[in-house]
Structure 1
Amino acid sequence: MTATYEVRGKIAVITLSNPPVNGLGYETRKAFCAALERAESDTAVNAIVVTGAGKAFSGGADIKEFGSPKALAEPNLLSMIGMVEACSKPVVAAIHSVCMGGGLELSLGCHYRVVAPGTKVALPEVKLGLLPGAGGTQRLPRALGIEPALNMIVSGEPVNSELLAQVPGQKLFDRVTSGDLMEEALAFAADVADKRPLPRVRDLKARHANPEAFFQFSRNMVGAMSKNFPAPLRCLEAVAASTTQKFEDGMRTEREGFTALMFTPESKALRHAFFAERAASKIADVPDDTPVRSIAKVAVIGAGTMGGGISMNFLNAGIPVTILETKQEALDRGIAIIKKNYEAQVKKGKLKEDKYQQRMALLSSTLNYADIGDADLVIEAVFEEIGVKEAVFKQLDAVMKPGAILASNTSTLDVNKIANSTKRPQDVVGLHFFSPANVMKLLEVVRGAATAKDVLATVMQLAKKIRKTAVVSGVCDGFIGNRMIEQYSRQAGFLLDEGCSPQQVDKAAEKFGFAMGPFRMGDLAGNDIGWAIRKRRYQEKPDLNYSKSADLLCELGRYGQKTGAGWYDYAVGKRDALPSPVVAEMLEKHRAALGITPRQISDDEIVHRLVYALVNEAAHLLEEGIAQRASDVDMVYLTGYGFPLWRGGPMCYADTVGLFNVVQAMKRFAKNPLDDAKFWEPAPLLARLAAEGKSFS
């Protein structure tokens, strides 16, 4: 049963029981309503307590049902809450742990609410591009007050029950418990069993001293902060309706907003990302119950930018880290940068002094490989050259204890080759962190041919502990993210050859929603990194065409922000990208040498050449089994490459445009004599899905 029924004395107890968060899916709603009818008809029952089993009161509606017949099937959530509100016997919500979305809306339909301290309370629908659709925008302002309710609904962030209970004049909670929640809820229910009339949140007034000025100010603030997301302003207008409309009229306004948002591309993209993040943690042939290895100590090889950032992730999670370097000055410099990063957080009030001290106390350093032999996980973060990495892994193989996981932070190199430099390839895995490693959410987990399943299960679990979004990739040059970005960068180079300036390409990409255009990104990462990769490509793939403009840039020593000059000029101590006359002249001479007459290129062409290059390469990755699923590709780009969240990732965007239309555009690009016609031949998977009228998802 997804909802259970029992009677304790004269009190009926209905318990939502649909793990893990007691989601209010169709079967749960049916079982709950049946139990409520049973309590209503039982003459021995004079009050009802509603609670949730396990670690949640209720996390809300089952979003897997969104857009499906089950979401509207009776009893739907509105009908279920209506039954509670209309019940002739007092209904007391015993709230604990998690009370979010439809769970909070259900509790607001109850006559009374008793809450345990520490309960996370939220209406998070805005994070899915929606607004609360079962009375949340109408009841919460009445129960809590306009301003705190609006803040909760527009942000979607959880708030502790103790804080909400302190809001002056609030009617959200009737009691915050100090002992056993169920015992106190039963006692409260017994106390109110004979009280009439039954209080209803809907009968309260949503008042504000100056509603017109408040909502106008809020519109300006919310509009500025959510220009690419329609849901926050829709939420605001629904809350505003609670102050000007009768309850039933406000409910209609809310429902109209919910329905309209459900079909927006932004909401579809956000829901896609929600499911994609959860799907990414699943590996097809690694069962959920696969045993994991204990990770109590971590070692990091290299105290540079990546090594230091990687170390901070584990220190933040309370896991001791030993950093190994070959020279004391490099070690001292790396430790100093970690301290500086933490001290900056303390100064900004983001980290308490005692937490900073605790984290630094977990950090140790060494120049000797023998000192890290007892670590459970060692991560290599040295120079990106296969010979260097193989030498490190041979040393690790000699000193690390049996069962230790040996990981490489390589961004492009062959993990199988690295693994084969050891006698334990089953213990080797790629853990590709993204820079800055202590900030970026993405972690590419690279599965070697011999990587053991328990190693994969362990690092996927560990990723959650250090708050990373882990995506599994097979072994290929560049894995998922960097293999795709190479094609994106090639297109950016061709666009320069044909007449674009770096700033035109970047502005078009950023207008589309990328956090940063390709040339600003190159300057930030270091143009010399791409140069080194191209030099390797010229040897390995001599038939692969590149614009030579990036090589010419590097020959001028313009590596980016670190040298004060790249595709842009940078003032000392600043990161503002300033158009460069030197680069403009370089590109002009380069085009003249090639005999190219510059042409005007639209932003639309720029964006679609960049994005469809990602899509086509990703389709090859899926065909080859390097990526498990299209949504994994989207997670890589949403969490590691600044792809706009409201577009859901490159594959979701392609689905939104329509794969037929994507293929037609690619055929047009293939006719461009200055582009790479061979690349624009659709990957077999893309061609097949487009021909069949299907999508990646």
Structure 2
Amino acid sequence: MYELHGTIAVITLNNPPVNSLSAALRQHIAAAVRQAELDPAVTGLVLIGHTKAFSAGADVTEFGTPLQLAEPMLGQLLAHIEACPKPVVAALSGVALGGGLELALACHGRVALETARLGLPEINLGLIPGAGGTQRLPRLAGLSTALAMIQSGAPQTGKQLAESGLLDQVVAEDLLPAALQRAAELARLGAPFPQARERSLDPVLVQKFVSEQQDKLTPRQRLQSAYTAQLEALSAAASDWPEGLRRERELFLQLQSSSQSQALRYQFFAEREAGKLPVVWQAEPRAVHTVAIIGAGTMGAGIAICALNAGLRVILLEQDDAALQRGQQRVTEHYQSRVQAGKMKATVAAAAEARLVPSTDWTQLVQADLVIEAVFEDLAVKQEVFKKIDAHARPGAVLATNTSYLDVDAIAHMTQRPADVLGLHFFSPANVMKLLEVVRGTHTAADVLATGMALGKTLKKLPVLTGNAFGFIGNRIYNAYRKQCEFMLEDGAWPEEVDSALQAFGLAMGPFAVADLSGLDIAWRMRKAQAASRDPRERYVAILDQLCEQGRLGRKTGAGYYSYSAGRQVKTTDAVVRDIITQASTQRGITRHTLTATDIQRRALLAMVNDAALLLAEGVASRASDIDVVLAQGYGFPRWEGGPVFWARQQDRAALEQDLHTMAAQSGHGFKVADLSVLLD
């Protein structure tokens, strides 16, 4: 939209919902700027969006299509604005992200609401800003602020950036009047209007800064080419303007065609798809205003915090006053720490705590729209709890079990209303981890599933639908992966070799470091519960059991697979662990041999891929991409590798299938080779 406010032309960006800079919007802006340039009555211009967005940046759906290259391309549009003979001011509200912020940087002035959120999130797609962001931002806001925004991808508010030099003015309200005033001021001052390109950076200081930041990159950042490219682009900002823009664009295009960026863009769309129920399950969710959480331990308290943060009323139920007090204290300490760290206003924290209703009275459940059981991971215990829930919850309430691997149907059958029961598998810590597996039981009603998915979004989590099978999606695949890693211990690898190889691939932690962190007794307890049903012909690695029998339960006891000194992990395994592993190999009749990092990575990934195909064929996962979302969000799989399914699709199919059969022979009885066509065709 184009309209005059006195002598200032106001160009309103209008591409709902977030003003993505599609080819059509770029053309609209260019035409409106030309119209203002040709109108002698116009002395200045203001670009403005709407309440939710100035612009959220490039339209990702156009990447790799002719539309991305349709003229004017974003760089051409920004050059046009920068060269405009009349001052152009950006009025920023809502979000100004990526190309949207780059558009604002090319303007001659910027006015923002305090609440506006400005950022360059390209790193989340394995990219760097590609329309001058790495060149203009350091000139306007300095190297440190520029790198912090580019490297983290996280937006900052107008208020936070008020003193950065990036913004001419930050206002609490009346954005358009302030922007009109700034455009009029610049018009009165006359050309040349302020431009980032006219500012220079000291090449010596830039190179010193870039070198220091290169040394600070984490191991996982070093695995991602975009982080190095960010620093290369900032280094180019010390060059002359055309050369800096040329180098930035060259790096952007290299990254855009890279497998890492393709994987991250795949994850971007997969995450959005994961939150949608398949058509057969789509229904209107039930209303949820009050949530009852049974169990105030670490998990229950974390779920309570999520619900309180979302504005829900929470009934926190425990079996006795002492346990309830401990749970309430966990919630209180969380909010106190947030306030003390300056991450939450005291009034917001107080309002959240005021919505918490601690109780030991089961009759309170009648008030709840949704009941979440979060007690000890034991089927008999959970079944007893659900009998009580069934007796006290109101008709129509949704009943959820927070289980990580137990049979949801076996729990639902303890009630008279299995259609109202589903699983909600929160990941620990529940108030931090984004992933939420929404588990469909045999009798779960469609509107109950819809309620679970809607709740996940209300809690600002990423809900993924899964069928009711042991371990659901995530723990089922992780169990296959962990088991294969244990086989490799018997075959010849040491725990540190397995962990190191998988971290080198990009996993956040290796399986044995993870086991020590979570506590070996958790897996040991589960193994003992399954012992009666285990097929004696299957290859079973007892190394973990033997560690537990010696009191080595992980970090909490100072030793597990690794030893710990002052809380820090000793890098190599000790003689006790190596002796247990060596004896296990001997008892299995295996001659130990060296496994390379590539061997380890491929076997671990093949184990994931094989179970992913089985899950999809069994209908436990609705979409192959859901599996990749779960592994990336809940299990530390590197997002820049896309997930095990995405990884498999980049491999030679014949080699994958041959290696799977080889691994099946190594794994022994019970290893079922999946038909990969369900993933790859």
Under a length normalisation based on structure 1, what TM-score does the superposition of the two structures give?
Answer: 0.88
Check whether the contact 1:485–1:614 (CA below 8 A) recurs between aligned residues: yes
Check whether the contact 2:492–2:594 (CA below 8 A) recurs between aligned residues: yes
Q: Post-superposition shift, 1:481?
A: 0.7
Q: Secondary structure at the match of 2:436?
A: strand
Q: Post-superposition shift, 1:57?
A: 0.6
Corresponding position of 1:627? 621
CA RMSD, Structure 1 to Structure 2 (Å): 3.1
Check whether the contact 2:53–2:96 (CA below 8 A) recurs between aligned residues: yes
Within 5 Å, give how 1:90-169 maps onto structure 2.
90-167=87-164
**Partner Cα distance (1:581, 1:348) in 2:** 43
Check whether the contact 1:145–1:206 (CA below 8 A) recurs between aligned residues: no
**Partner Cα distance (2:525, 2:553) in 1:** 12
Check whether the contact 1:58–1:99 (CA below 8 A) recurs between aligned residues: yes
**Partner Cα distance (2:404, 2:602) in 1:** 26
Corresponding position of 1:579? 573
**Partner Cα distance (2:353, 2:185) in 1:** 53
Q: Post-superposition shift, 1:137?
A: 1.6
**Partner Cα distance (1:148, 1:48) in 2:** 28
Corresponding position of 2:290? 297
Relative to structure 1, is the Cα distance of residues 339 and 85 closer, same or farther in structure 2, using a 3 angstrom cutoff?
closer
Within 5 Å, give how 1:665-680 maps onto structure 2.
665-672=659-666, 675-676=667-668, 679=671
Relative to structure 1, is the Cα distance of residues 677 and 314 closer, same or farther in structure 2, using a 3 angstrom cutoff?
same
Amino acid at match of 2:228: L
Relative to structure 1, is the Cα distance of residues 503 and 113 closer, same or farther in structure 2, using a 3 angstrom cutoff?
closer
| Comparing 443-452 and 653-662, the one that deviates more | 653-662
Deviations 1:328-382 (A, max 9, x none): 4433444445555556666766667666655554444333311232122211112
Deviations 1:304-325 (A, max 9, x none): 3322332232234443433323
Corresponding position of 2:540? 546
Corresponding position of 1:389? 382
| Comparing 643-652 and 571-580, the one that deviates more | 571-580
Under a length normalisation based on structure 2, what TM-score does the superposition of the two structures give?
Answer: 0.90
Give the one of 265, 270, 282 matched to 2:276.
282
Check whether the contact 1:47–1:90 (CA below 8 A) recurs between aligned residues: yes
Give the one of 289, 308, 311 matched to 2:304.
311
**Partner Cα distance (2:620, 2:49) in 1:** 41
The runs of 5 or more residues in structure 1 that have no matched partner are: none
Relative to structure 1, is the Cα distance of residues 349 and 33 closer, same or farther in structure 2, using a 3 angstrom cutoff?
closer
Check whether the contact 2:85–2:191 (CA below 8 A) recurs between aligned residues: no
**Structure 1 residue 238 corresponds to structure 2 residue 230:** no
Relative to structure 1, is the Cα distance of residues 528 and 78 closer, same or farther in structure 2, using a 3 angstrom cutoff?
same
Q: Would you say how many aligned residue pairs link Structure 1 and Structure 2?
A: 679
Relative to structure 1, is the Cα distance of residues 609 and 218 closer, same or farther in structure 2, using a 3 angstrom cutoff?
closer
Corresponding position of 1:498? 491
Corresponding position of 1:402? 395
Corresponding position of 1:52? 49
Check whether the contact 1:116–1:161 (CA below 8 A) recurs between aligned residues: yes
Q: Post-superposition shift, 1:661?
A: 3.7
Amino acid at match of 2:468: V
Check whether the contact 2:617–2:678 (CA below 8 A) recurs between aligned residues: no
Check whether the contact 1:142–1:201 (CA below 8 A) recurs between aligned residues: no
Relative to structure 1, is the Cα distance of residues 108 and 339 closer, same or farther in structure 2, using a 3 angstrom cutoff?
closer
Amino acid at match of 2:595: I
Q: Secondary structure at the match of 2:235?
A: helix
Relative to structure 1, is the Cα distance of residues 227 and 538 closer, same or farther in structure 2, using a 3 angstrom cutoff?
same
Q: Post-superposition shift, 1:634?
A: 1.7
Amino acid at match of 2:447: D
Within 5 Å, give how 1:682-697 maps onto structure 2.
683-684=674-675, 686-687=676-677, 690=680
Relative to structure 1, is the Cα distance of residues 8 and 457 closer, same or farther in structure 2, using a 3 angstrom cutoff?
farther
**Partner Cα distance (1:660, 1:35) in 2:** 55
Sequence identity percentage: 45
Give the one of 210, 216, 223 matched to 2:211.
216
Amino acid at match of 1:29: R
**Structure 1 residue 229 corresponds to structure 2 residue 228:** no
**Partner Cα distance (2:62, 2:423) in 1:** 36
Amino acid at match of 1:156: G
Corresponding position of 1:482? 475
**Partner Cα distance (2:354, 2:179) in 1:** 45
**Structure 1 residue 84 corresponds to structure 2 residue 78:** no
**Structure 1 residue 568 corresponds to structure 2 residue 565:** no
**Partner Cα distance (1:154, 1:588) in 2:** 45
| Comparing 405-414 and 620-629, the one that deviates more | 620-629
**Structure 1 residue 509 corresponds to structure 2 residue 509:** no
**Partner Cα distance (1:202, 1:357) in 2:** 44
Check whether the contact 2:295–2:318 (CA below 8 A) recurs between aligned residues: yes
| Comparing 502-511 and 393-402, the one that deviates more | 502-511
Check whether the contact 1:570–1:577 (CA below 8 A) recurs between aligned residues: no
Check whether the contact 2:123–2:153 (CA below 8 A) recurs between aligned residues: yes
Check whether the contact 1:317–1:466 (CA below 8 A) recurs between aligned residues: yes
Amino acid at match of 1:372: L
Q: Secondary structure at the match of 2:45?
A: strand
Deviations 1:529-587 (A, max 9, x none): 33344445454452644223334444445443444443334458666677243332223
Q: Secondary structure at the match of 1:388?
A: helix
The runs of 5 or more residues in structure 2 that have no matched partner are: none
Within 5 Å, give how 1:184-223 maps onto structure 2.
184-190=178-184, 192-193=186-187, 196-199=190-193, 201-208=195-202, 210-222=205-217
**Partner Cα distance (1:651, 1:133) in 2:** 29
**Partner Cα distance (2:660, 2:611) in 1:** 12
**Partner Cα distance (1:236, 1:347) in 2:** 34
**Partner Cα distance (1:688, 1:325) in 2:** 45
Deviations 1:143-195 (A, max 9, x none): 3334433332233222222343323xx3x434434542223434544555576
Check whether the contact 1:11–1:186 (CA below 8 A) recurs between aligned residues: yes
Q: Secondary structure at the match of 2:279?
A: coil
Check whether the contact 1:223–1:233 (CA below 8 A) recurs between aligned residues: no
Q: Post-superposition shift, 1:225?
A: 7.9
Amino acid at match of 1:91: V
Relative to structure 1, is the Cα distance of residues 114 and 505 closer, same or farther in structure 2, using a 3 angstrom cutoff?
closer
**Partner Cα distance (2:424, 2:188) in 1:** 62
Q: Post-superposition shift, 1:21?
A: 1.1
Amino acid at match of 1:104: L
Relative to structure 1, is the Cα distance of residues 203 and 490 closer, same or farther in structure 2, using a 3 angstrom cutoff?
closer
| Comparing 411-420 and 255-264, the one that deviates more | 411-420
**Partner Cα distance (1:625, 1:70) in 2:** 37
Relative to structure 1, is the Cα distance of residues 187 and 357 closer, same or farther in structure 2, using a 3 angstrom cutoff?
closer
**Structure 1 residue 325 corresponds to structure 2 residue 295:** no
